[in-house]
Amino acid sequence: MKKPKRGRESRTGLSRRRFFGSVATGAAEAAVLTIPAEAGTQPSPGQTDGGMFKAVLNINGRAHSLNVEPRWTLLHVLRDRLGLMGTKSGCERGECGACTVLIDGLARYACMTLAVEASGAQITTIEGLMRGEELGLVQQAFVEEDGFQCGYCTPGQVVSVEALLRKNPQPGIDQIREGVSGNLCRCGAYGNIFRAAQWAAELRKAR
């Protein structure tokens, strides 16, 4: 017996999948307003009538104005509200480092940072380290030195190395180990991760 085809068009010409897709798109457009980062001084978070808070999150050079619940983490907003899926959800309790982002240049766990807490700060995710369509130098170093296996922890590892090199452009091996000590790799690719960090420092020096 043949299985019925899924997603068939109804008599109105609208499939179930297309219907929910259009509803989700409309809801996202209504919930989030993206404005240029250079729009001037950003307003501080303020409570709305519905118990939500107005927040302006400056992410990768763009300012996103949206209403957030006071309990929402930055990780939740990045992934589920803004669709920035590069920041990974791992332990969600500040242990694995998969969700590491830069906040004002410092490595922070997005799962342990409230969205309202990050309002007005400069946030950089793994997507923001790219140079247009090209990989950033740390990302390139991880590829060339095979600094990953399954790849799930890699965004957090890359962001932590980026934070380290911004603070210390030529770190020694002990400083590299300390710099990524908050990021766990269950595959055990630490040797390659350390070499990737060293090569990233050389690439930055050459540039």
Strands 122-124 and 53-59: parallel
> For the domain 137-206, what is the CATH superfamily, name and number?
[2Fe-2S]-binding domain (1.10.150.120)
pLDDT of residue 21: 47
Which residue ranges does the chain devote to CATH 1.10.150.120?
137-206
Other beta carbons less than 10 A from residue 30's beta carbon = 8
Just give the CATH number of 31-127.
3.10.20.30
pLDDT of res. 207: 85
Strand segments, DSSP code E, in the chain are 32-36, 46-47, 53-59, 62-68, 100-103, 106-109, 122-124
* pLDDT given for residue 135 in this prediction: 97
Tokens for 34, please give them. Answer: 């993206």
pTM of the model: 0.77
Kindly give the confidence (pLDDT) of every residue in the chain, 207 residues in length, as a single tens digit, with 9 standing for 90 and above. 444 444 434 444 444 444 344 434 444 443 444 434 443 444 445 655 568 999 999 999 999 999 999 999 999 999 999 999 999 999 999 999 999 999 999 999 999 999 999 999 999 999 999 989 999 999 999 999 999 999 999 999 999 999 999 999 999 999 999 999 999 999 999 999 999 999 999 999 998
- pLDDT score recorded for residue 108: 98
Q: Which segments of the chain belong to CATH 3.10.20.30? A: 31-127
Contact by Cβ (8 Å): 111, 99: yes
pLDDT at 36: 41
**pLDDT reported for residue 50:** 65
Q: What is the DSSP string of 33-71?
A: EEEETTSSSPPPPEE-TTS-EEEEEEETTEEEEEEE-TT
The closest of 86, 36, 22, 26 to 65, measured between CA atoms, is 36
Q: What is the DSSP letter of 180?
A: T
pLDDT of residue 47: 59
Half-sphere exposure of 9 (CA within 13 A, CB side): 4
| Tokens encoding 173 | 């091996």
